[in-house]
């Protein structure tokens, strides 16, 4: 059987509280909601962050569940964009409403 | 890409709500009326205006005995029996996502089963099921994609849900505008 690299999605998220780690909070909520096996399958990773804006990566298979976990995470986190490639996400970020309104 | 007319009928707070919601793929938003009219928003009023009100509005209440377009549900199990007797058909039953953030894992699980139960109840009893963010600040807002994901988790097809909500909203707003004209 051919081994293929699992497909991923890159999510751009913004968090109010800069001091806390949003990925840890999302993973915790995800694990509570969908279990530890699904959490491993989701393969949540922090790719980069600037001030309160973070880019995270997850598997496409668990994307819906990741979005649910993000919506129910405390402190609150907003998903502002998502893309299949990091390059496209970064290019869209440059012109996004959130980039313009950094003070938010 | 499919365009969905997503609606978040419960947002409040001191920020540029109209622009933020557009950035989060939400077409229409419901906010409390603070005296400063804004474009592209629907106002949530505590009671029907006695004078003409020239903006789209919905009457929202938490009290079962008050006539309203939307009834906000805090605890569905407590009010379930009374809902059928006291409410008119077509009333919107709203549940907000914001309180679920503070809940522990067991309570969130129960909250999800309440959502499913409320959706089925609305479907069979001819009420409009409404899910809103309940956001009070920018960071508490929920993007359109996350709302879709929550709906799918509950077992609701997002496209069908947004279509039904848009139709219901248009009917309600037309009714409310004509009411305002009659009152003058």
The DSSP code for A79 is E
Instruction: Tell me which residues of chain B, numbers 100 to 139, contact chain A at a CB-CB cutoff of 8 Å.
Output: 100-102, 104-105, 108-109, 137-139
So what's the pLDDT on residue B16? Answer: 84
pLDDT of A103 reads 47
Phi, then psi, of A83 in degrees rounded to 5: -155, 165
pLDDT of residue B84: 81
The pLDDT score that the predictor gives to residue B17 is 85
User: pLDDT tens digit string along B88-112?
Assistant: 889 999 999 999 999 999 999 999 9
B69, exposed or middle or buried, with CB in 10 Å at 0-12, 13-18, 19+? buried
Q: Could you tell me the pTM of the whole model?
A: 0.91
* B143 or B17: which leads in pLDDT: B143
Res. B4: pLDDT tops 80: yes
ipTM: 0.89
Helix (H, G, I), strand (E, B) or coil at B176: helix
**CB contact (8 A) between residue A97 and residue B23:** yes
**Interchain CB contacts (distance < 8 Å): A and B:** 68
**Are the C-beta atoms of residues B52 and B33 closer than 8 Å to each other?**
no
Q: What is the largest CA-CA distance in chain B?
A: 51
Interface of A with B (CB under 8 A): 14-16, 32-33, 63-65, 67-68, 70-80, 82, 96-98, 101, 104
Give tens-digit pLDDT for B30-60: 999 887 777 778 999 998 888 878 889 999 9
Q: Whole-angstrom Cα distance, residue B49 to residue A32? A: 45
The pLDDT confidence band at residue A46, using thresholds 50, 70 and 90, is very high
pLDDT at position B143, please? Answer: 94
Q: Is the peptide bond before A75 cis (omega within 30 degrees of 0)?
A: yes
Q: pLDDT band for position B149 (50/70/90)?
A: very high
Residue A82's nearest CA partner among A102, A103, A96 is A96
More confident residue, A2 or B184: A2
């Amino acid at each position: 059987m051919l081994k293929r690299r699992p497909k991923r999605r890159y999510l751009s998220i913004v968090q109010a509280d800069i001091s806390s780690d949003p990925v840890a909070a999302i993973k915790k909520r995800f694990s509570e909601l969908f279990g530890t096996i699904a959490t491993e399958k989701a393969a949540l990773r922090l790719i980069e962050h600037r001030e309160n804006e973070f880019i995270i990566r997850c598997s496409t298979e668990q994307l819906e569940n990741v979005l649910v976990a993000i919506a129910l995470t405390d402190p609150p986190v907003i998903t502002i964009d998502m893309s299949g490639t990091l390059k496209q996400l970064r290019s869209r970020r440059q012109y996004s409403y959130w980039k313009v309104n950094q003070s938010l | 890409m499919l365009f969905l007319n997503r609606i978040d009928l419960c947002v409040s707070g001191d920020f540029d709500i109209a622009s933020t919601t557009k950035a989060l793929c939400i077409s229409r938003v419901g906010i409390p009326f603070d005296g400063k009219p804004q474009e592209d928003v629907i106002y949530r009023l505590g009671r029907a205006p006695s004078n003409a009100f020239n903006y789209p509005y919905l009457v929202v209440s938490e009290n079962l005995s008050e006539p309203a377009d939307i009834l906000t549900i805090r605890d569905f199990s407590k009010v379930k029996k009374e809902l059928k007797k006291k409410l008119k058909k077509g009333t919107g039953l709203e549940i907000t996502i914001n309180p679920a953030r503070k809940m522990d894992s067991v309570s969130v699980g129960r909250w999800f089963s309440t959502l499913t139960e409320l959706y089925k109840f609305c479907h069979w009893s001819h009420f409009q099921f409404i899910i809103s963010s309940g956001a009070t600040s920018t960071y508490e807002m929920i993007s359109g994609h996350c709302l879709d994901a929550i709906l799918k988790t509950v077992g609701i097809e997002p496209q069908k849900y947004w279509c039904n909500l848009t139709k219901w909203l248009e009917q309600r707003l037309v009714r409310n505008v004509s009411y305002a004209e009659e009152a003058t």
